[in-house]
Amino acid sequence: QYAPKKEDRFTFGLWTVANQGRDPFGDVVRPPLNPVRSVQKLSELGAWGVNFHDNDLVPFGSSPAEKDRIVRDFKQALNDYGMVVPMATTNLFFHPIFKDGAFTAVDPSVRAYALQKTMRAIDLGVELGAKTYVFWGGREGVDSEASKNPMEAVKRMRDAINFLSEYVLDNGYDLRFALEPKPNEPRSDTYFPTIGHALAFIYTLDHPEMVGLNPEVAHEHMAGLNFVHGIGQALEAGKLFHIDLNDQKGPRYDQDLRFGSENIKSMFFLVRLLENAGYTGPLHFDAHAYRTEDEQGVWDFALGCMRTYNILKAKAQRFDADPEVQALLHTINTGDSAHQSLVDQVRQGYSKDLARQLSETNFDVETLGKRGYQYEKLDQLAVEHILGTR
Ligand code: GLT
Ligand code: MN
Ligand code: MN
Ligand code: MN
């Protein structure tokens, strides 16, 4: 029942399952995983597609002939195993040239090179069918605040996104951009640290309609924020173009844990929101297996991400269909019908007449202040659904 299927639109980054477990204190623990093998295994497990950074597929510095061979084999694998590439991105953080950032680096040669690398990576992504292009500002930030003017950094990022938007339009590509915020790591502070910062930035661009968000669970939790609310705001703005699902224990380093392995309650409400709001984009997992795992552990991890999503989806549907929940939500949201009509009119917009009606209305503030909202009961119902007793 919970087994992942292509229609579920689950995707993984090539970098996720191929993560070799290197961390700042220890070396790799798993051998490299060939992209073709990842495509095959993920397809067998029920995933719909894979996403990649240019260099996950074509190693940095490959010759044109090597690139052609790799891309040909990869296309063949996508075809053989019925997998798609909904999203692509650029690695602008691994090579030492990017140690001070890419689009916001102080060195103009680095900024220009970052544009060149991204144009080439966009071409590659589009060739493989990508419809969304992610910008995670890996090292766009500072260690020393003295190094950069934060206002200039915003302008440089805007220059880059505007230029690349025109590049996409000029080439007639069917591609939208999705900005991925993160508050810190690998730099001690990253520009555009949260969903809110990125969202506000989008409306200052030349083509705001082309640009949305790719929020990640772990990244917002690192900033101590409520991910469900961030996603709510992104959805309401029509800006949830993509999503990075994973999990995280509190505001620490970026853990990229198996989806739903830690914050089960908020992931329940996340899945419920995505499903009820009719989000139809890819459900992408940006996570990796524990460093203790061998290759089998990687596939256990990948299947676990997808199964947990489907389990939470089924639980959310049961919660919403529960008559007791429905009755309680109805009671909670109902009040004086005269006041209901007033706030309905507020939604329609201001009028002098409405302002007059509002100023002349008498409110029984004592009684309203005494109301009990029954949220303890409601929340317990949610907990019991999550725990599986209802
Ligand atoms: C890297 C990062 C992720 C981003 C990827 C896209 S790369 O793994 O930690 O959060 O989504 O660049
Ligand atoms: Mn992460
Ligand atoms: Mn990450
Ligand atoms: Mn991510």
Active site residue 56: yes
Spot the catalytic one: 54, 56, 254, 256: 56
Query: What ipTM was estimated for this complex?
Result: 0.93
Amino acid 190 reads T
Backbone angles phi, psi at 132, to 5 degrees: -125, 140
Structure tokens at 208: 């705001």
Beta carbons of 230 and 194 less than 8 angstroms apart: yes
Q: H helices within 171-253, ranges in order?
A: 195-202, 217-222, 227-236
User: What is the mean pLDDT of the segment spanning 136-148?
Assistant: 97
Q: Tell me which residue of 90, 175, 172, 72 sits closest to 139, measured CA to CA.
A: 90
pLDDT tens digits along 238-285: 999 999 999 999 999 999 999 999 999 999 999 999 999 999 999 999
Q: Give the C-alpha distances (Å, rounded to integers) separating 290 from 34, 42, 208, 220, 253.
A: 19, 18, 38, 21, 15
Structure tokens at 310: 């489907």
> SS3 letters for 312-353?
HHHHHHHHHHCHHHHHHHHHHCCCCHHHHHHHHHHHHCCCHH
pLDDT tens digits along 310-368: 999 999 999 999 999 999 999 999 988 989 999 999 999 999 999 999 999 999 999 99
Sheet with 10-13: list strands edge to edge: 211-213, 176-180, 132-136, 87-89, 49-53, 10-13, 283-285, 244-245
180 close to ligand 1 (CB < 6 Angstrom):
yes
Among all bound ligands, the one having the nearest atom to the CA of 16 is: 1
Does 182 score more than 90 pLDDT?
yes
329 C-alpha vs ligand 4 centroid, how far in Å? 34
Q: Whose CA is nearest to atom 5 of ligand 1?
A: 136
Residue carrying structure tokens 């029984």: 364
Structure tokens at 259: 């989806």
Among all bound ligands, the one having the nearest atom to the CA of 136 is: 1
Burial class (CB in 10 A: 0-12, 13-18, 19+), 357: middle
Q: Which atom of ligand 1 is nearest to the CA of 218?
A: 10
> Can you give the pLDDT at residue 338?
87
pLDDT tens digits along 59-110: 999 999 999 999 999 999 999 999 999 999 999 999 999 999 999 999 999 9
78 C-alpha vs ligand 3 centroid, how far in Å? 25
pLDDT tens digits along 194-230: 999 999 999 999 999 999 999 999 999 999 999 999 9
> Can you give the pLDDT at residue 11?
99
User: What is the mean pLDDT of the segment spanning 178-200?
Assistant: 98
**Among 52, 87, 98, 136, residue to substitute to test ligand 1 (most atoms within 8 Å of Cβ):** 136
> Can you give the pLDDT at residue 166?
99
> Can you give the pLDDT at residue 156?
98
> Can you give the pLDDT at residue 246?
98
33 C-alpha vs ligand 1 centroid, how far in Å? 18
Does 299 score more than 90 pLDDT?
yes
- Counting every residue written for the chain, the total comes to 390
Beta carbons of 297 and 290 less than 8 angstroms apart: yes
Is 286 annotated in some ligand binding site?
Answer: yes
